Structure 1
Amino acid sequence: MYTRWRLYILAVFVAIILILLFACRIWRKRGHSFSAFREVLLILGVVLIVETLIISTLSNFNLGVILPAFFGVPMVFLAFVLPHMKKGFLLFLKWLIAACYGVAFCIFIVCGFLMVRASTEGKNVEADAVIVLGAAVHGDKVTWVLENRLNTAMEYMNEHPAAICVVSGGQGAGESVTEASAMKKYMVERGIDASRVYTEEKATNTNENFEFAKVIIDNVLGPDAKIAFVTTNFHVYRAGQVAKAQGVNAVGIPADDVWYLRLNNFLRECVGICVYALRGDI
């Protein structure tokens, strides 16, 4: 099924690119000028806008879903208006948009480096306890994002039979049970001993995930227990910084992201890192 969806989405994007290339060719044949640079801007902008439209039907609506279109709309605008932006306000607007894209590109490079580096630090970690950070559940069923996190945690627990696990997450809107209870159910149904899985059912954000889970670990193993945490790969860096702010010395173990959300999650996480940095949280 996943491969089929990949092919469907790829086919949509290829069709859009081919249609736009054909349209640009017809436009030139009719005597209109349309440079290769403007053609690239048009195609990239439309692709980003369509990406938002597609993902909005497949995922919960959030900032990450909107951001591709946020970057795509100015590209489409520039593709059509660029030849006229030679003086006055339009010239100022052109350079303002260019400056914004330049700043955004630099932010993406820096944040991407931090995310990739953090996601490779937990490959050989030895821990007494693993905290699994919660994510939305549908009713009482774990989502694909959360399933990947739990599978990663179970793999670690099978390799480290003495380790315990704390699944952390409260109950949000549209959820019939707490995230933690759904997570424990998923793990126990797949062979993990229920006595090794502890539920933390009050947390509503990453700060509380670590704060409340640490209390459970201290009660079970003592304050000197070595701790790791599992979250999606793009989130490891920011979650690790939150853990440090909570006084929790923990190493992140990355879980795979959902393939069709990678761009959206990357963009949203870049914004999240910037916001946390500006607030002094990391």
Structure 2
Amino acid sequence: MIMLLPAVVFAVLYLASRRRDARRLRNGVFLVAAIACGLVALLTEASRTTPFTVLLAAFGAVLLVGVLAVLLIGNGITMIRLEGRSLGNLLSLFAGVAILVLPVLAVLLVLGLDLSSLPSWAAILLVAVGVLLGFACFYAAATFAAFGVYSLVYSRFRHTVTPDVVVILGSGLIDGEVPPLLRSRLDLALRIHRAARPGTRRPLLIPSGGQGEDEPRPEGVAMAEYLIANGAEPADVLPETESTSTRENLLRSRELQESSGRDGDTLVVTNNYHVLRAALLARSIGSDAQVIGSPTAAYYVPSAFLREYVAIMVEHRALNGLAIAGAAALVALAVVWSLLPI
């Protein structure tokens, strides 16, 4: 049960880090590491009494990955049918195919192919490519697990503030009108707005979103119209109409909040798949805002989560590049060592 020790250590790190600030991606790393070490400890202990436990677990893991790949491919087809053929809508299809193809290719390059007919240098390079591909698959799986698991955990946190301001993050309009995805955010903001205790000031609603190239008007304007049409007082709605990204949503909304004299707690509303990234961005700009999520259509969630994951990986590109460069350097060193005439 030696692996229980790192599991406990990672669990303590997770609890301490989350208590300090729940809006940290490292919390997901600690949580997934604790779960993984705990599972390894259980499998190690079980294999002592049932030798085939590890084989059964490996078979179950491979089967689970295969099922996941098939589900992602199916979701990709659904996204194309319902949402169109944009790059974002194709992400789940690409991910499903990659899960089926890339790990198998990595194993074949390292263990499965007969490379005896090739020159030694070519065989070594192919094995090196397989090792790098295997590392890339593992790194992508580990980072996505940390992001995905903690996104689910964070999205279920209950906000503990009585907001003075509710910021609603924008998303694309359809023919200048609020689509169902954005409507769910606005409806949640309205419920929070109406829940203000009698005798207290209702929170200021800041619908935030600029005008995209394919939109006839700013998202903030359309969102404000929806809020007022569904019961919000015009004086309680202050649209932000210049932002072009989530970071700008948060920054420009904070400027409006300060200019309006609302210095109380801020609650940011988005969809559930977007909660963690919005919270990370809020923390990065020095905001204490809490973030909550509204429901999202089930078919839309896989592609949405993948887009969020890609965005976070891009935002942390320096750290990810360092990890990949370190692995590539070690593999290159091993290749050079293998080619030396010793």
Is the TM value for this pair above 0.5? yes
Give the Å deviation of 1:77. 4.5
How many residue pairs get aligned? The number is: 245
- Listed as ranges, the gaps of 5+ residues in structure 1 are 1-34
Please give the alpha-carbon distance, in whole angstroms, between the structure 1 residues aligned to 2:102 and 2:212: 41
Matched residue type, 1:56: I
Match of 2:189 among 153, 163, 170: 153
Decide which moves more: 127-136 or 155-164.
155-164
Please give the alpha-carbon distance, in whole angstroms, between the structure 1 residues aligned to 2:95 and 2:302: 12
Corresponding residue number in structure 2 for 1:163: 203
Please give the alpha-carbon distance, in whole angstroms, between the structure 1 residues aligned to 2:93 and 2:303: 10
Match of 1:126 among 133, 141, 162: 162
Match of 1:185 among 208, 222, 225: 225
Secondary structure of the residue aligned to 1:228 is strand
Match of 2:92 among 40, 57, 68: 68
Secondary structure of the residue aligned to 1:199 is coil
Closer, same or farther in 2 for the Cα pair 1:92/1:134, shift >3 Å? same
Match of 1:87 among 87, 93, 114: 114
Matched residue type, 2:221: S
Please give the alpha-carbon distance, in whole angstroms, between the structure 2 residues aligned to 1:157 and 1:63: 36
Closer, same or farther in 2 for the Cα pair 1:197/1:61, shift >3 Å? farther
Please give the alpha-carbon distance, in whole angstroms, between the structure 2 residues aligned to 1:147 and 1:237: 20
Please give the alpha-carbon distance, in whole angstroms, between the structure 2 residues aligned to 1:254 and 1:276: 21
Give TM-score, length-normalised by structure 2: 0.62
Give the Å deviation of 1:279. 5.1
Corresponding residue number in structure 1 for 2:72: 48
Alpha-carbon contact 1:184-1:199 (below 8 Å) kept: yes
Please give the alpha-carbon distance, in whole angstroms, between the structure 2 residues aligned to 1:80 and 1:101: 10
Please give the alpha-carbon distance, in whole angstroms, between the structure 1 residues aligned to 2:299 and 2:272: 14
Closer, same or farther in 2 for the Cα pair 1:154/1:95, shift >3 Å? same
Corresponding residue number in structure 2 for 1:211: 251
- Listed as ranges, the gaps of 5+ residues in structure 2 are 1-58, 116-122, 320-342
Decide which moves more: 213-222 or 115-124.
115-124
Alpha-carbon contact 2:166-2:266 (below 8 Å) kept: yes
Give the Å deviation of 1:220. 1.5
Matched residue type, 1:231: T
Over alpha carbons, which structure has the higher Rg?
2
The alignment's C-alpha RMSD in Å is 3.1
Closer, same or farther in 2 for the Cα pair 1:254/1:83, shift >3 Å? closer
Matched residue type, 2:160: N
Please give the alpha-carbon distance, in whole angstroms, between the structure 1 residues aligned to 2:86 and 2:67: 24
Decide which moves more: 237-246 or 60-69.
60-69
Decide which moves more: 163-172 or 185-194.
185-194
Match of 1:172 among 207, 212, 233: 212
Corresponding residue number in structure 2 for 1:229: 268
Alpha-carbon contact 1:217-1:225 (below 8 Å) kept: no
- More strand by proportion, 1 or 2? 1
Q: Deviations over 1:52-89 (max 9, x none)?
A: 23202322655542222223324554799888943336
Please give the alpha-carbon distance, in whole angstroms, between the structure 2 residues aligned to 1:172 and 1:260: 25
Secondary structure of the residue aligned to 2:239 is strand
Decide which moves more: 72-81 or 98-107.
72-81
Decide which moves more: 118-127 or 36-45.
36-45
Q: Deviations over 1:158-196 (max 9, x none)?
A: 102611110010111221221011111111111111211
Give the Å deviation of 1:268. 1.6
Give TM-score, length-normalised by structure 1: 0.74
Alpha-carbon contact 2:73-2:93 (below 8 Å) kept: yes
Corresponding residue number in structure 2 for 1:114: 150
